[in-house]
Amino acid sequence: MSMRRFGLVGRPLVHSASARYFAAKFEREGIAGCRYDLFPLREIGELRRLTDEIPDLCGFNVTIPYKRRILPLLDALSPEAERIGAVNCVRCDGGRLIGYNTDVEGLRASLDELLADDRPEEALVLGTGGASQAVQYVLAERELPFALVSRDPLRGNFTYDNLPGEEVARCRLIVQATPVGTFPRADEAPRLPYDALTPRHRLFDLVYNPPLTRFLELGRQRGARTMNGERMFVRQAEASWRIWNG
């Protein structure tokens, strides 16, 4: 029986739980003849060499910094991935690479749990990369207005240097969609006026390693309700598995 191969493409991958997650899933569910590996690529141009070298590759996930850079290398996109403009899941279909976005499924479930019946008037999204694009898509679905904070003044409504405390106070949902605070640099947090946070704030960090990021810890100190990216991680992983086996 030939081995069915899966994996994760990105750089760096030291923080990722994907290989452990799928190894545990295969064992728990008695799934034989499958393996999931980490494929750190120095640049996304190495992707074709990877797929040529591993003809048994059935599908793979995509993480930072390649969720957008991979688009020109794909043969097709799901309609949703096309609208989002970012991909985190690729299905290998007879030599063709088809891109999907399963982050949105994890985001919808996470926001449902974090917000419950609460509906913030406005949201603040930290970051403008591929993960942020999925966040923006889900917020737009909910008709929840948002502003973007970026290091690049051309891509966001604010930079971290000119973000007013009043804006942070007004935006009761803050979504952290950058890698800041990810293991091993767990002591870092986005530069925000944290003293503007209140117990009415809801903070969602897409990072899941460590489980309590500095960003979330600073929010908790001010009474905010917080959630990390673990639920999102699990939901997007299971959605990817369904796509690869669909």
Active site (catalytic) residues? 67
How many other C-beta atoms lie within 10 A of the C-beta of residue 94? 4
The tokens for 149 are 């904070």
Task: Round to whole Å and give the CA distance between 161 and 142.
Answer: 29
How many other C-beta atoms lie within 10 A of the C-beta of residue 218? 18
Amino acid in the structure at residue 55:
P
Amino acid in the structure at residue 6:
F
The tokens for 71 are 């688009």
Burial class (CB in 10 A: 0-12, 13-18, 19+), 147: middle
Give, in order, the Cα–Cα distances in Å from 219 to each of 105, 120, 167, 194, 226: 25, 16, 15, 7, 7
E strand spans, 116-222? 123-126, 146-149, 173-176, 202-205
Q: What distance, in Å, lies between the first and last C-alpha atoms of the chain?
A: 20
Half-sphere exposure of 91 (CA within 13 A, CB side): 18
- Is there a cis peptide before residue 199, judged by omega within 30 degrees of 0? no
The residue to which tokens 């449902």 are assigned: 112
Amino acid in the structure at residue 167:
E
